[in-house]
Amino acid sequence: MESNGHRKTRRRNLIAQESSSFNLSEVIDELDPWTAWAYRPHTIKLLFIGTCFLIWASGVLDPDSTSTGDLVTSVKRGVFAMIAVFLAYSLLQAPATVLIRPHPAIWRLVHGLAVVYLISLTFLLFQKRDDARQFMRFLHPDLGVELPERSYGSDCRIYVPEDPSSRFRNVYETLFDEFVLAHIFGWWGKAIMIRNQPLLWILSFGFELMELTFRHMLPNFNECWWDSIILDILVCNWFGIWAGMRTVQYFDGRTYEWVGISQRPNIISKVLGQFTPAQWDKDEWHPLLGPWRFLQVLFLCIVFLTVELNTFFLKFCLWIPARNPLIVYRLILWWLIAIPTIREYNSFLQDRTPVKKLGAFCWLSIATCIVELLICIKFGNGLYPNPMARWLVIFWISVGVALLVFLILWSWQLRKALEQKKL
């Protein structure tokens, strides 16, 4: 016999399932006729189409047509097919996110790509450094070759009188570098995700401080003072943050009255309207709400800075040039992962329930960041002969001690105020 508690639990689950299915049917009925078909389940149809594609691609009916004498080619095709099957499953069955535009299936696919990337990093973590470098050649033929790192601080003179072509050559080469636009667009994207200007400026100054801290390890971090302060902070970062916050203000001030695609005036607005947000949430970080909230927001900043640092350390350890498309693919993937991650983490902080669960994208982001960091530590062993400057060591120890004392005094003050209030 079932206990009374078990019967009540099963009854509650059944009611929840019935109510959720009823709500889903209501939502489908209220959808616009142009897009209603895309929100209905098509799992059986897509399973049939996927099976037919596998039969054709694998040569089940005609094995001789797909057989090749190259083992590497066969393994590559098998690995890509394995990834494709998993992504197809993610597209249909992965957990839903807080985002619904342009379509929930897009974010389920991003979830699958994040899992594939995490698994690939885990595989790379268990290889030797030289083997991992040669393995990268399977992803791109130009990899696996040691490349010199570019140093931006070899000549910090603004005016170069002996240069016949241009006496401001150093400024021109830095100002018209192709990474300047990438820098601006990167901060524009961060501003749209975080939506908090003080927090963005903390990240901006924090990354410049990270470059100063690790410049003895990576030649790429050796920048001139005018490059770091003027071009990076006061030009690129400021313009990207300004443009991003203006975009946030635009969406924050709009009135979101949902109109179906079939009711839009022209085809351009019908298509582009699907890529606009269905609603615009105000992210309230409140880092000074209390010591615990301060640590939670600080953790977000640390993860952000670690992901950015991992970009430079990974390409240094694995011999990936800055202009290689793999760098761009990784940045795009991280940007897609970060969009729902920030939403989930902010919802996690604002949730007042005693038992909370971290979102799927938050968990994946933290796990991926950790595995990337472990790869950098393992493969970087012995690559950095120069020690950190003594003043930097003293500086970071002082920052850690000051932060600890600040949190202790803050907690003590709040506890004392709470005790006085009880009296």
Q: What is the pLDDT along the chain (423 residues), one digit of tens a residue?
A: 344 444 444 434 433 333 333 344 444 445 555 555 566 677 788 888 888 888 888 777 777 766 666 777 888 888 888 999 999 998 888 887 777 777 788 899 999 999 999 999 999 999 999 999 999 998 888 898 887 766 666 667 767 777 667 767 667 677 767 678 888 999 999 998 898 999 999 999 999 999 999 998 988 888 777 778 888 888 889 999 999 999 888 877 554 444 455 555 555 555 555 555 555 566 678 899 999 999 999 999 999 999 999 999 999 999 998 889 999 999 999 999 999 999 899 888 887 777 678 888 999 999 999 999 999 999 999 999 889 999 999 999 999 999 999 999 999 999 988 888 876
- Residue-level pLDDT at 43: 78
What's the CA gap between 291 and 318, in Å, rounded? Answer: 39
- Residue-level pLDDT at 181: 85
* DSSP track, 226-246: HIIIIIIIIIIIHHHHHHHHH
Q: Is the sign of the CA dihedral 259, 262, 268, 274 positive or negative? A: positive
- Residue-level pLDDT at 13: 43
- Residue-level pLDDT at 422: 76
- Residue-level pLDDT at 68: 64
- Residue-level pLDDT at 378: 96
- Residue-level pLDDT at 4: 43
Amino acid letter, residue 121:
L
- Which residues are CB-neighbours of 92 under 8 A, at least 6 positions away? 43, 46, 105, 108
- Residue-level pLDDT at 38: 60
- Residue-level pLDDT at 31: 56
- Residue-level pLDDT at 154: 64
What's the CA gap between 231 and 307, in Å, rounded? Answer: 22
What's the CA gap between 222 and 215, in Å, rounded? Answer: 5
**What's the token pair of residue 274?**
């699907």
pTM attached to this predicted model:
0.81
In terms of residues, how long is the chain? 423
